[in-house]
Amino acid sequence: MNPIDRRTFLGQLSLATAAIYVPRYGFSSDGQAADFVEVDTAYGRLKGMRNDGVSIFKGIPYSGRVSGDRRFRRPAPLESWTGVRDALQVGPPAIQAPRRNEPAPAEDCLFLNVWTPATDNRKRPVMFYSHGGGFVIGSGASASQDGSSLARNFDVVVVETNHRLGLLGFLYLDEIAGSDYAGSGNMGMLDITAGLKWVHDNIAQFGGDPTNVMIWGESGGGAKTSCLYAMPEAAPYFNKASIESGPGVRMTPRDVAAETTAMLLKELNIAPKDWRKLLDVPAVDLLTIQGKLPFVPPFQEKNRNQGTMRRNYGGFGPVVDDVVLPHHPFDPGAPAISLNKPLLVGWNEDEYTFFAWERKDTEFTKLDFEGLQKKLEPPYGTDAAKIVDTYRKANPKSSAPDIFIAVSSITMMGLGSVDIAEKKAKQGGASVYLYNFGYKSEKKIPGTDYAMGTPHAMDISFKFNNEIPPRDGSAPKESFFGGNRPERFAASHHFAELWTTFARTGKPAAKDVPAWPAYNLKTRPTMRIDTTCEVINNRFNDELAMWRSLGKL
């Protein structure tokens, strides 16, 4: 299998993440009855639960209806309620395959969850997270991204939304449907923006500071964060950002989005002039049709051949529509609208082992260097020899499988991350900080003796500080990806402290971690996050020079 086949990325990710992250909701995490806590919002009073030092509110509506005549449009206004509304269970996720232990997916999915140390008048930093799953699956209720530990251990407020995904969130109708559907190709992004506005208007009641909001996200959530960073409508509601393993340098151009819409209408046998028939198609049928069309990965390759891009990409994701998203997030440069907003960006060292695990790909572990070159020839042609030679010289102790993972991982998530860091540094505004997550899990890819290392998505539970010993003193359970070694607890604490300090001050820092210099184009410092963290200057210098020579960076 092509190691960096980006067209299949979301298809693989969709299947895998649904299996990995099993969300939990209800009362306390230990099964004990939790105390209730109430808070006022602009729309009515809410009842949440207080457990183990954290107040938790789940399933809060942040905007109105998006079904019926609101499909593909901005939401209806949120209606106030009388009395006290329960906020004890998560709301339904966006239309997708059913998610274990969550309500049935629904069109009307605009709900969010809040974790806070206390509903007092403290002005804590707010960490507004966008979930992964590309642009087609996921929710703000996954267990690995439970915000309790961050709120409890680092005195921050965590917010996560459900928002429209896939066809219902990103179908581009602007050219055929009229002014009521302006921005239709970015409804999923506008939902997230509505969540940010709700935070601005209400989070003070939850102990948060509406003037100190960090947006962050992993994989597809990183790409969503990249878009928010460039969106005028989102700009007033956050002041810093973190893009993690999802460098959204470029998004879908209008003409490609229009072609995707034409493919959909043809599949449904609907003439463009009769597009309103889309409003009557059951959501479950739209989901079936969505599965027949291409996926949009949370990155797009540097577009050197528009015709190739047309063939390879389509599907449903944010659209560069000159209105909601005026231009590509980081192409040709960092967005001027966020000039003064600090940024974190980076990736995991062994991203590709996730996909090897998901695809049950064990063949790469048997590669020798001759076989490695042959495996890289389909995507790289005659450049494959140069790639292998460069990586062997830069990493003389690495095996052929190691180099395969390194090449696949950096091309998936690393080159875009470096591109963003370079462009933000060149902009000369607020600082940008580049990182690699490198804690090595000892868990093996099934059917092999090859360790997972630092796979895609492993960072989620670490940065949320959910890799911690049980609070009841019982023996720790094995982490899904992180393994059994107790050293993972230190790595998780470092990761979480760096991110929460950045949320608080705009500069990442942590106890027992070296000072993290802002990225610059001379020394190019990168923080490697692990049990022991270190700053590495000019990391991957030879490899990146080679990728630049090939026009990949």
> Which residues make Cβ contacts (< 8 Å) with residue 476, sequence separation at least 6?
469, 470, 484, 486
Taking alpha carbons only, the member of 328, 325, 346, 381 closest to residue 219 is: 346
Place of tokens 């390879």: 312
Q: Which of 456, 479, 494, 497 is an active site residue?
A: 456
Question: Which distant-in-sequence residues (6+ apart) come within 8 Å of 86 by Cβ?
Answer: 46, 47, 59
pLDDT band at residue 305, thresholds of 50, 70 and 90? Answer: very low
* Residue 301: per-residue pLDDT: 61
Asked if residue 250 lies in contact with residue 329, where contact means CB atoms within 8 angstroms, the answer is yes
Listed in sequence order, the DSSP H helices in 276-435 are 283-290, 306-312, 352-359, 369-380, 384-394, 400-409, 415-427
pLDDT at residue number 392? 98
Spatial contact of 174 and 258, defined as CB atoms under 8 Å apart: no
Q: Give me the pLDDT at residue 314, please.
A: 57
pLDDT (0 to 100) of residue 296? 65
pLDDT digits (tens, 9 = 90+) for 194-233: 999 999 999 999 999 999 999 999 999 999 999 999 999 9
Do the strands 35-41 and 252-253 form a parallel or antiparallel pair, or are they unpaired? unpaired
What percent of the chain clears pLDDT 90, i.e. is strictly above it?
Answer: 88
Residue percentage of the chain with pLDDT more than 70: 90
pLDDT of residue 4: 43
Inter-residue contact 461 to 429 (CB < 8 Å): no
The C-alpha angle 19, 23, 28, rounded to 5 degrees, equals 150
Q: What are phi and psi of 457, to 5 degrees?
A: 80, -10
DSSP secondary structure letter of residue 357: H
Q: Is pLDDT larger for residue 308 or for residue 434?
A: 434
Res 473 pLDDT > 90:
no
* pLDDT (tens digit per residue) in 292-304: 887 665 555 654 3
**Percentage helix, strand, coil, to 5, in the chain?**
40, 20, 45
Q: Catalytic residue at 456?
A: yes
E strand map for 239-397: 240-244, 252-253, 319-320, 343-348
pLDDT at 287 over 50: yes
Element (H, E) at 48: strand 44-51
Query: What residues contact residue 12 under an 8 Å CB cut-off, 6+ apart?
Result: 355, 358, 359
Average pLDDT for residues 321-327, to the nearest whole number? 97
Domains belonging to the chain, first-starting first, are: 6-252+325-341 (3.40.50.1820), 352-488+521-549 (no CATH)
Instruction: For residues 350 and 410, give the distance between their C-alpha atoms in angstroms, rounded to a whole number.
Output: 8
Instruction: Write the CA distances from 470 to 149, 171, 476, 479, 489, integer angstroms.
Output: 11, 44, 6, 12, 11
Which position among 144, 149, 184, 219 bears the catalytic label?
Answer: 219
pLDDT for the residue 23: 33
Is 163 an annotated catalytic residue?
no
Handedness of CA 542, 546, 552, 553 (dihedral sign): positive
Residue position matching structure tokens 């980006």: 6
378/399 Cα distance (integer angstroms): 21
User: What is the structure's pLDDT at 391?
Assistant: 98
Q: How far from 340 is each of 128, 241, 498, CA to CA, in Å?
A: 19, 11, 20
Residue 307: predicted pLDDT: 32
Report the amino acid identity of residue 62: Y
Q: In whole angstroms, give the CA distance from residue 342 to residue 434.
A: 11
Per-residue confidence (pLDDT) for residue 294, from 0 to 100: 73
The pLDDT of residue 333 is above 90 = yes
Per-residue CA distances from 60 to 44, 64, 127, 443 (Å)? 11, 11, 17, 37
What is the β-pairing status of strands 111-116 and 54-61? Answer: antiparallel
Helices (H), 291-398: 306-312, 352-359, 369-380, 384-394
**Candidate list 102, 218, 349, 351, residue with the active-site label:** 351
Query: Are the beta carbons of 329 and 229 closer than 8 angstroms?
Result: yes
Q: Is the pLDDT of residue 505 over 50?
A: yes
Residue 111: pLDDT band with limits 50, 70, 90: very high
454 touches 348 (CB < 8 A): yes
pLDDT digit string, tens, across residues 378-430: 999 999 999 999 999 999 999 999 999 999 999 999 999 999 999 999 999 99
pLDDT at 475: 87
pLDDT tens for residues 517-528?
999 999 999 999
Write down the mean pLDDT value for the chain.
92
pLDDT for position 39: 98
Give the per-residue pLDDT at 302.
Answer: 58
Mean pLDDT value of segment 77-87: 98
Q: How confident is the model at residue 310 (pLDDT cuts 50, 70, 90)?
A: very low
